Amino acid sequence: MKKAIVLLLAALVLGLLARLSFFTVEEGRSALVIGWQQLRAVRASPGIHAKLPDPVERVVMVDMRGQQLSVSSDEPADGAELPALGYDVVWRVSDPAQWWKSFGGSDSETARGISKKISESSRSVLSGLGDADLVRRGDGLIAARVLAEAQKSLLGQGVSLDSVRVSGIRMSQSGLEKAMADTSRIWSGEISASGRLERESAQALRAQADAKAQQTLESALRQAGDLRAAADAAASRLYGRLDSRPGLSGFSARLAAARAETRRSGRPEPMQTAGAQAQRQGGRPDGSQ
């Protein structure tokens, strides 16, 4: 009876240790293994992973997918003619380890850091423009420049920006009065909307179209890269399992050699079978002489 109780307690303890020592990483996520407030490891591949039991090591799951963030516009300075812009941002964690060091694993701190950097970049970009009308119509170009400038420092903090889009425009009272006065003068025929205004409008529209096309292309390339990386990882796991099957030993190595030859020559290269390789080496398919 005592032996059965001891065995039962041992089984319960082992089950508890196993529960505290293993964790699962899902697709689209990474796991940070934290021990005594220090980052011990990053686990990015989907599947089951092991760690030391809690509380020696704990796991923080990181969502690697795109996250949406709304950055409100600044309050325009009194007397400023240029408007302030608000933005819709899509961001993602690009480097989990650096993100943890920069923001402590906090989504709220990450959002504050991104908002601050977007606002600073927006003020920097707008300071180089002298026409409020151009700012209002060139939102695509401005958003692309804000993305490029903010991206420089955010990448060093483990964060990547997928897209930045102007979501709102806020003008100061004096800037709004000037815009309304110019509009009234155009409608009354006092001044013409042709000439410089038309040229600036055309330039702004073209810049907006180019910027949106560039953002779409960059986003598509990033998504294609993510899909290819995921497909390569899944294929590697599958090839590893095939290598263990009878008659398929070395399958992944032969496939890699065929791919390398295809990239080198530019022509599709058939994969060598185990029998053909053995004959070329003067032996049998099992590797014996």
pLDDT per residue as tens digits for the range 172-213: 655 555 555 655 655 565 555 555 554 544 544 455 556 566
Q: State the amino acid at position 202 in one-letter form.
A: A
In the chain, where the domains are located: 20-63, 67-215, 229-274
Higher pLDDT, 115 or 8: 115
**Residues in contact with 127: Cβ distance below 8 Å, sequence separation at least 6, in sequence order:** none
The pTM (predicted TM-score) of the whole model is: 0.56
Taking alpha carbons only, the member of 110, 120, 134, 131 closest to residue 87 is 120
Please calculate the CA angle 89-130-168 and round it to the nearest 5 degrees: 30
Domain 67-215: assigned CATH number: 3.30.479.30
pLDDT per residue as tens digits for the range 145-170: 899 999 999 999 999 999 999 888 77
Give dist(CA 65, CA 3) in Å, integer: 51
Give dist(CA 39, CA 74) in Å, integer: 36
Across the chain, mean pLDDT equals: 75
pLDDT > 50? residue 288: no
Lowest mean pLDDT among 131-140, 163-172, 279-288: 279-288
Provide the pairing of β-strand 38-43 with 47-50.
unpaired
- For the segment 67-82, the average pLDDT, to the nearest whole number, is 77
Q: How confident is the model at residue 123 (pLDDT cuts 50, 70, 90)?
A: confident
Q: Where are the beta strands (DSSP E) in the chain?
A: 22-25, 29-35, 38-43, 47-50, 58-63, 67-71, 84-93, 159-170
Measured CA distances, 97 to 42, 102, 104, 159, 160 (Å): 7, 9, 10, 11, 14
Give dist(CA 210, CA 233) in Å, integer: 35
Measured CA distances, 252 to 247, 255, 258, 286 (Å): 13, 5, 10, 17
